[in-house]
Amino acid sequence: MSKIWFQPYNIEEINVFFNKYLSGLLEIKATEIDDNSITATMPVTDNVKQPHGILHGGASVVLAESLGSIASNLVVDPDKYRGVGLEVNANHIRPVSSGIITAKCSPIHIGRSTHIWEIKMYDRFDKLNCISRLTVAIVPK
């Protein structure tokens, strides 16, 4: 597969997006970008836990949607289009109570009007703890 990004991007540029809004509050940070995927991390702090002391499923969904939405917006011409979340789902496989979650976002489908992303999340032991799928609508600005 060839490079999918509209132009070359670096981690610092991507983290400008992550540092704002909800993703900034959850301390989500991009750590790697290659030809067709982006990787990001999120610390498992009390801010993202549910009352039982484990990672809240909603926080995993925020990580997935933030990562996939940014990926879609890096694929399209930013002067003409924007990507907005259309549907997101997540399967929570194993609980996480501490450490860092690492999420890798890869395309399933890059179309003219929709993108579909797979986001796999791993705990600090490199065990899969959540898998999510995000559909993004591509709309004219």
- From the candidates 13, 32, 65, 87, which is the catalytic residue? 65
Helix or strand or coil: residue 103? Answer: strand
128-140 vs 38-43, strand pairing mode:
unpaired
70 phi/psi in degrees, rounded to 5: -65, -40
Residue 65 annotated among the catalytic residues of the structure? yes
Half-sphere exposure of 17 (CA within 13 A, CB side): 18
The residues annotated with a catalytic role in the active site are 65
